[in-house]
Amino acid sequence: MKYSKEQELAIKHVNGPCMVIAGPGSGKTAVITGRIKYLIESAGVSPADILVITFTRAAASQMEQRFKAMTKGHDYRVRFGTFHSIYFWIIKTAYNLNNQSVISNDEKRKIIEKILGGMSLEYENKEDIISSILSQISIVKCDMINIENYYSKDMPEDVFREVYRRFHHEMNRFGKIDFDDMMVMCYELLNKRPDILKSCRNIFKYIMVDEFQDSNKIQYEIFKLLAKPLENVFVVGDDDQSVYGFRGARPEIMFLFEKDFKNTRKYYLVDNYRCDRIITGVSSKLIADNKKRFDKKLVSKKSEEGKYEIVSTTDVNSENEAIIANVREHYALGIPYEEQAVLYRTNIEPRRLVYKLNQFNIPYTISDSLPNIFEHFVVKGVLNYMRFAMGDRSRAVFLQIMNKPGRYISRNLLIEDEIDFNELRYRARDKEYVVERIDKLMADLRLISKMRPYPALNFIRNAVGFDDYIKDYAEFRQLDADELYEVLDEFASMIVDFKSYAEMFEFIEEYSEVLKKQQIEERDKKGLKLMTMHSSKGLEFDCVYIMNVVEGCIPYRKAKTSAEIEEERRMLYVAMTRARHELYVYTPKEVSGKPKNKSSFLE
């Protein structure tokens, strides 16, 4: 294989610390495998002394296969693995652990659910809260934060700290650890046991790390322990592609590397072999606006100009139609569906696109599970109002609406399985203010029964007071009320044309079936690729279509600090550099019924 001058210099680096800053499509995997081969065949390094760390098992396996293909006829026993697998290997013997010691995600979720129940913490959005708690527990460990100094984003700090302590008590009781515990235990073991640390250093004399920009603090601290005193470390990464802040990834670790490892040799791989010239050009202009980055500029090695187009549409519906038209047009020109990808910032954005793809019989795969909006607790709340107004008088449905907003109706008043308002009024006769609220609810439900779904939704939100309930709930649970309102806005835009409740509920059933079918089918089937910007990292396609490049979507409206805005810009940069030949960026003027401005990133 022919290497560029910079690639060759990196490959031939043998001893001492080295950092390779490798832009998208710059051939970093070729450099890593090429250097392993060079160390063994030209520098006389034993394969057993080489450790190659990647971030996923799939990446480790792929890297190993690439290396074996390059060195056919030789059985070089180089160790490939993830941070977690290597650190687990180190602690297994010391702590008498095995694979059964590692807890599954489902088990962790059940523990958190049990803890919330034991603390009488009831949440409407229970699944989201459990995910958030687990994510925050991970951040506490990965960032090596003292729990007393951590402030939760969606519950009072004392409550979160108690959940954290109970979670660890349960884990210890069952003798289980998770992936973050592996790193905490490994760090503690290497600090407590200099003999084990010395053994590890003797085994791992040459350490290489791929995707170094995705390292978190504790991974880096262990890496530093293992690297001393030889410092034969070779890290490859791109600070411009660090997009996993929510998992604890810290791109600033790349800047720390030079301080922690003196006399670091640094090489820049800026030649892009993937993207046509115009795509490389606009991507470079975009990312240049980030202040905290290594100064570099991608250079396309392609002869083709390529295509870059910003497509303005009226709303999300017209955006979906434009994307589908474009996909079909390229397919007719001979570009397979699987060489085309639709990318988006969050996994809720392609909801209606998926429905339309089914209508047009366009095969597709989704890399991230697509949440069903009709299962979201705020939408379910509104749907229950509509169901009750349509004649469903079941106690189960009434329980979901009777105090949203608060009406002070006690559960003790509900005796039968079917609700009879006259009976309810009679049982509440001693409390005139409750009777008044029951009468108002009865009147509201009569009006709702005569409306079409869209005006009924607005009536429930405003006149009935469901938005007030959301505001109070969000404040109590430390959630963002605007985010919940946005879900209802999106729901509104999906039902605006329905003339009856029957028509709407038929659509909901159909849509839910589409989602179920999609989840059951094989993920690796052929078809148009739908994925978040996060999931697209490391992939490439002939044509890329990026949805909703508008303020509030990208950058995401929760991004407030300069560091968060810079990560959002990196995310768009990653998405744009997935395109080999054609890149389309869509900017709808309206999303979920709200006017939107084109993303400031596009300026």
CA atoms within 13 A on the CB side of 230: 19
pLDDT value for 412: 87
Mean pLDDT of 324-329: 97
Environment class of 233 (CB within 10 Å of its CB; exposed 0-12, middle 13-18, buried 19+) = buried
> What pLDDT was estimated at residue 483?
85
| pLDDT one-digit tens code per residue, 294-309 | 989 899 999 999 999 9
pLDDT tens profile 360-403: 999 999 987 788 899 999 999 999 999 999 999 999 999 999 99
pLDDT at residue number 415: 85
**What is the average pLDDT value for the chain, to the nearest integer?**
92
Q: Over 90: is that where the pLDDT of 234 sits?
A: yes
Mean pLDDT of 415-428: 88
CA distance linking residue 64 with residue 79, whole number of Å: 9
Buried residues in 11-46 as b, exposed as e (16+ CB within 10 A) = bebbeebbbbbbbbbbbbbbbbbbbbbbbbeeeebe
The answer to whether residues 546 and 586 touch, using CB atoms and an 8 Å cutoff, is yes
With a cut of 90, say whether residue 281 has pLDDT above it.
yes
Q: What is the pLDDT of residue 521?
A: 58
Least confident span in 120-129, 312-321, 365-374: 120-129
pLDDT at site 520: 57
Alpha-carbon distance 139 to 143, whole Å? 6
Contact 351, 370 (CB under 8 A): yes
Q: What is the pLDDT of residue 313?
A: 97
Task: Write out the DSSP string of 15-52.
Answer: SS-EEEEE-TTS-HHHHHHHHHHHHHHTS---GGGEEE
Top-confidence residue, 278 or 156 = 278
Tell me how far apart the alpha carbons of residues 146 and 165 are, in angstroms, rounded to a whole number: 12
Q: pLDDT tens digits for 483-534?
A: 899 899 989 988 999 999 999 999 999 888 887 776 655 445 789 999 999 9
For the residues 405-418, what does the mean pLDDT come to?
88
* Predicted pLDDT of residue 14: 96
Alpha helix segments (H runs only) across 204-293: 217-227, 252-260, 277-287
Q: Which pLDDT does position 594 carry in this prediction?
A: 85
Looking at residues 348-367, what average pLDDT do you find? 90
Amino acid making up residue 538: G
Q: How far is CA 393 from its chain centroid? A: 40
What per-residue confidence (pLDDT) applies to 194? 95
Share of the chain above pLDDT 90, in %: 73
Of 504, 299, 483, 497, the C-alpha closest to 385 is 504
Note the pTM of the prediction, 2 decimals.
0.87
Residue 112 has pLDDT above 60, yes or no: yes
